[in-house]
Every structure is written in C-alpha cells, then in structure tokens.
Amino acid sequence: MTLPPAAEIKRIVYLGTPVTAVAPLRALKEAGYEIVLVVTRPDRRRGRGARLQPSPVKVAAQDLGITISDNLQALATVDADIAVVVAYGEIIPAPFLQRMPMVNMHFSLLPRWRGAAPVERAILNGDEVTGVCLMAVAEGLDTGPLYRQVRTKIDANEDSEMLQARLSALGTKLMLEAFSAGLGSPEPQQGEATYAAKLTSVDRHIDWRQSALQIIRQIRVGGAWTTFRGQRFIIWRAKQSEPVPKRGTPNLAPGSITELTVATGDGHIEMVEVQTQGRTRQSADAWRNGVRPRADDRFW
C-alpha cells in the first residue's frame, strides 16, 4: 500500500512485543503522534511459579493509557494512517497488510539476517557491522523494500542486550526523522539473504573445544550454558584471559577450571558473572568462594 505524505501521518497503530520495542513506542507518543492501538503478543508464563506476565510493550502501553490488543483482528476496528512494526514476533498475514500501510523497524542490514534473532546471530557470527532498516512490510520474512537504513559498528564488548538497546535508539531516531521528512519510495533489498533463526538451547550450549573467541561470542549473546557437577551453569559475562598456572601439567583439557579461568580449545576465558541452576546471578568470585572447585572439577 502507498504510504501517506509525512504531513498526513497523525494516527498510528503500533505492533511490538519485547523491551527493544518500548523506546520507539514512547518516542512516537512523545513526538505528538496519536497511538490509536497497540497490538502485542499474548501474556506468557515466565519466571518462578510460571505466572502469566505481560510483554514489555503491553506494560508501556498501559502506562501511556493506550488501547491494547493481543489479536491482529483488532486492526479492523481502528482508523489509522499507518502501522509501525517493531519486533512484533509474528509474520503478519497478507489480509492484514491490506488494511493500512505498514513500516517495520528491523535490527540488521537487510537482506542480511532476516528473521527472529538478527542481533544474536550477528554477534555469534562475529559480524563487525550491523544496523537498522526501515522497510515496507510485505508477505514473507523481512522481504519488503527499504526506505532508510543506518549502519553502526559492533563493539567487541557489547552483549546482545546492549546492542539491541543501542539499535533501538538508532532506529527510533531514524524513524522520527523519516516520518517528519517523508519516507519517499522504497528500494528493493540488494545482496544475498541470510536468515537469523531464533536461538535454541543447543545454540547456547558451550562446547569447550571451541576457540576462546567463539565462546565469548556465545556468552555475549546471553544464556550461554554448560554443566557443573551435573547441573546447568550459565556464564553471563566473561573475558578472554591469559593462561594461568597449569597445576603442574603442561596443558589442561577444555572445560578445566583454574580459579576463575576455564580452558578452551585454544586458550582461556575468565568468568565474570555466573548463575548456578536454581539460584540468582552472582559474581564469579562469589561463586568460586562458595563452591571451591576441586582439581578434578570440569565444565561439560
């Protein structure tokens, strides 16, 4: 569908779900646009006790006093100039695309990393550059033509939460500028498409035979896990480390623990923040002092 001129964009429907979609929603409201409806994913069971929890976007919309729905059918009940989609979490079926023009904010440089986990896949792959695209929503998985994009380097110390927050801020600025000046005509995506499938538990499982650099990337993605004394053990933050004394042996097997360092396939990492199964996150120092790893302990 044809987008309205910038001066005619006043009433907006917003579709989004995770925390990265909160800043654009608030920015649109603060910029004076009327958000007539927020559509987000249904409440999910999370955390201890598996209680139903609303999405971050739903919480923000409630705070802003905006009408909320978890059903796309609600699009038929409102009159809006445009719909803005930010990490909604579901492909929008073709019939809904005919109701109003839709613009999607996607956290990659399309067509690279189409799909659900572009930030995580960029980090895991070792990409040095990423960005944000404003695109027309079309049938298919992030296949629409592009209105605008902005590029940015990925810092070697950024984890996925940090990078997502930064991309959300960059995308919000880009969107407000585009809405103010007019989006213009979109251009087809150029280049080879790659796909960012949602990460699984297998993707996050640390194989200590890998390089220290690759394991650090896994940890930066979030939720990287191994096992310690038969229980799941998450490493939330770590850094590459120089080798430590080898307890009298020339080499340590991958996964071997010495103080706060762990042997990998080609070096060592130093744990900074960790979490034992059933417990809260804590510093690696506090974990070591409480557990006192033995000489024969090892991560698997």
> CA–CA distance from 84 to each of 61, 101, 109, 186 (Å)?
14, 9, 18, 16
Same domain, 225 and 150: no
**What confidence tens digit (pLDDT) does each residue in 218-232 have?**
999 999 999 999 999
Kindly report the pTM of this predicted structure.
Answer: 0.92
Cα first-last separation, the chain: 53
Same domain, 253 and 148: no
pLDDT value for 51 = 83
Among 181, 214, 245, give the residue marking a domain's end. Answer: 181
Asked whether residue 195 is assigned to any structural domain, the reply reads: no
**What confidence tens digit (pLDDT) does each residue in 94-124 have?**
999 988 999 999 999 999 999 999 999 999 9
- The total domain count for the chain is 2
Same domain, 145 and 64: yes
**What confidence tens digit (pLDDT) does each residue in 173-206 have?**
999 999 999 989 999 999 999 999 999 999 999 9
Same domain, 93 and 206: no
> What 3 state SS string does the chain have?
CCCCCHHHCCEEEEEECCHHHHHHHHHHHHCCCEEEEEECCCCEEECHHHEEECCHHHHHHHHHCCCEECCHHHHHHCCCCEEEEECCCCCCCHHHHCCCCEEEEECCCCCCCECCCHHHHHHHHCCCEEEEEEEECCCCCCCCCEEEEEEEECCCCCCHHHHHHHHHHHHHHHHHHHHHHCCCCCECCCCCCCECCCCCHHHHECCCCCCHHHHHHHHHHCCCEEEECCEEEEEEEEEEECCCCCCCCCCCCCCEEECCEEECCCCEEEEEEEEECCCCCEEHHHHHHHHCCCCCCECC
Same domain, 78 and 226: no
Same domain, 238 and 177: no
**What confidence tens digit (pLDDT) does each residue in 119-161 have?**
999 999 999 999 999 999 998 899 999 999 999 999 999 999 9
At residue 247, does pLDDT exceed 60? no
Residues spanned by the domain of 272: 201-291
